[in-house]
Amino acid sequence: MKRLHFLIYTVSFLLSTSLFAANFSFNVTDTVLKTEVKTPFQLASLFTDHMVLQRDKSIPVWGKASVGATITVKFANSEKSIVTDSNGEWRMDLNALSASFEPKTMIISSSENAEEITISDILIGDVWICSGQSNMQMQVGRIPEIKALIPTSSNIRSFTVKNTVAFEPQDTCEGTWVNEHPDSAVAFSFAYFLQKSANIPIGIILTSWGSSSIEAWMPREMTKTVPHFKTIMEEFDADLKTKNKIQTILDGPEPWTKHDNVFARRQSNILYNAMMHPLIPYACRGLVWYQGERNTQSMEGMVKKPWFYRNSGMLKYGETLKEWIKNYRKSWNDEAMQFMVVMLPGFGKTLNSGTDLNSENPNSHSWAWMRESQLKALELPIHR
């Protein structure tokens, strides 16, 4: 009988222990499942103190926060709220405002965060993106006539995007709004005379890099509309050596060596991913584009060697430019987004492929062919 009691006691003890262990395991698992990693409460990169917002257009404001959080934006005597989506992303469009020199403050709060984000000294005016290669990147100090404009300039602010690359489209970029002109001779002179003419605040977003092609600033989705770009990206995807070298550059110390800098900026697509995509859909009047020289190394394009000559060439540039403009307007959801294309100058340079090396002869393969291609942008409809 004692042995029977002992067995009953032992079985009862083991069962209770097993049930406790199972219940404990369930509680731990349940706790782990309920534990969520909160998304940091943040705004898009362009929303900093001293920013300029586009006048007369609805103003997109966006960022990230915890899933299901209620985001509230207070600005210019108005208040709007929205709930973040399943990815913790949010966006709201504020009402259009008239140009104003009066500094304003924007306050953004989240129901999941105690601290508010406050952006101060905001002006309302015209915002222009200035992009392209070295002619757009050339510093103000290198042109004495433009440098001389600095003492009489006012109400110009700028945001300069850090030069870098990325394999995938990025949501953020490095830079901040400053209460001073951009260090680009073309962008500054454009802003200077625009400000004097319109008498409103001007904001310049400078995102440019020397020796870059138009393909460098094209999103991958344009492989559907531009055949030669499709070929370029297929070759890029298959080129593990190039991709590994780019990753090594990104993982290495800064500043990059001159060789690495040139190698990165001459690639297709990856400049767009890092330096243009993060700007979408910041409201702007338009984009000033000073680029083309990188695409003048051939007439027909897609030269096999050197590799960085594999682009549209001069004859395909016009149709490529038109598709690029259409894509950007679609990305910004703004058919009225203006594009100002700076045509290459009469530099007198010719290719050896022409029957005449005199740049003034129509038979020569000069930059005149590129200027004719750039004119094709005028074939697109104008929306106001």
Q: How far apart are CA 49 and CA 157, in angstroms?
A: 11
Of 1-5, 248-252, 293-297, least confident by mean pLDDT is 1-5
Q: Six-digit token pair at 194?
A: 């625009």
Of 17-26, 139-148, 207-216, least confident by mean pLDDT is 17-26
pLDDT above 80 for 262: yes
Domains of the chain from N-terminus onward = 123-384 (3.40.50)
The whole-number average pLDDT for the span 332-361 is 89
Considering only the C-alpha atoms of the chain, give the largest distance between any 2 of them, rounded to a whole number of Å. 119
Return the pLDDT at 211: 96
- Check: CB of residue 217 under 8 Å from CB of residue 131: yes
The whole-number average pLDDT for the span 206-233 is 98
pLDDT above 60 for 176: yes
Please name which of 358, 371, 199 lies closest in space to residue 296, comparing C-alpha atoms.
Answer: 371
Residue 37: band (very low, low, confident or very high) from pLDDT cuts 50, 70, 90: low
User: Tell me: the pLDDT tens digits for 102-115?
Assistant: 999 999 999 999 89
pLDDT above 80 for 123: yes
User: Tell me: the pLDDT tens digits for 1-11?
Assistant: 444 343 333 33
The whole-number average pLDDT for the span 69-74 is 98
pLDDT above 60 for 223: yes
Q: Measured in whole angstroms, how far is the alpha carbon of residue 227 from the centre of its chain?
A: 23
Return the pLDDT at 36: 55
